[in-house]
Homo-oligomer: A and B are copies of this chain.
Amino acid sequence: MNDFRSPAFDLLSSVTSQKEGLETESIELTELQHLCERSNVGREIFDLIVDLYPICRSITGDGIRQTLSVMTQFIPLQQHEVPSGTPVLDWTVPKEWNIRDAYVANARGERVIDFQRNCLHVVGYSAPVNGRFHLNELKKHLFTIPEHPDWIPFRYSYYDRNWGFCLAHRDLEKLEDGEYEVLIDSSLEDGLLTYGEYYLPGSSTDELLISAHIDHPAMCNDNLSGVAVATLLAQYLSRVQNRRLSYRFIFIPTTIGSITWLSRNEATLDRIKYGFTLTCIGDNGGFTWKETRRGGTEIDRAVKCALRESKEEYELWGFTPFGFDERQFCSPGFNLPVGSLFRTGPYRYPQNHTSADDLTLMSPEKLAGSVALIARIVTILEGNASYFNTSPKGEPQLGKRGIYRKIGGPVIQQNLLHLFWVLNYSDGEHSLLDIAEMSQFAFSDLRKAANILLEQGLLVPSTQILD
Residues of chain A whose beta carbon lies under 8 Å from any beta carbon of chain B: 89-91, 123, 143, 145, 153-160, 162, 164, 255, 258-259, 262-263, 266, 293, 318, 320-322, 327-328, 330-335, 347, 352-354, 389, 391-397, 399-400, 404, 406-410, 412, 416-417, 420-421, 423-427, 438-439
* Stoichiometry, copies per complex: 3
Q: Are A155 and B409 in contact (CB under 8 A)?
A: yes
- Cα(A410)–Cα(B334), bound, Å: 27
Q: Once the chains are docked, how many angstroms separate the CA of A423 from the CA of B427?
A: 41
CB distance from A264 to the nearest CB of B (A): 12
For the complex, what is the distance from the CA of A458 to the CA of B425, rounded to whole Å?
A: 46
Chain B neighbourhood of A164, CB < 8 A: 407
> Closest approach, in angstroms, between the C-beta of A31 and any C-beta of chain B?
31
- Nearest to A417 among chain B residues (CB) is B322
Complex CA gap A145/B409 in Å reads 10
Docked-complex contact B332 and A424, CB < 8 angstroms: yes
Contact A391 B439 (CB under 8 A): no
CB contact between A89 and one of B353, B393, B427 (< 8 Å): that residue: B393
Contact of A400 among B159, B318, B352, B394 (CB under 8 A): B159
**A321–B394 CB distance below 8 A:** no
| Residue numbers in B under 8 Å from A332 (CB-CB) | 389, 392, 423-427
A407 and B123: CB pair below 8 A?
Answer: yes
Q: Of residues A91, A395, A423, A425, which shows the largest number of chain B Cβ atoms within 10 Å of its Cβ?
A: A395
- Whether B331 pairs with A397 at a CB distance below 8 angstroms is no
Q: In the complex the two chains form, is B412's CB within 8 Å of A347's CB?
A: yes
Which residues of B are found within 8 Å of A423, using beta-carbon distances? 321, 331-332
Contact indicator B399/A262 (Cβ below 8 Å) = no
What is the bound-complex CA distance between A266 and B394, given in angstroms?
A: 11
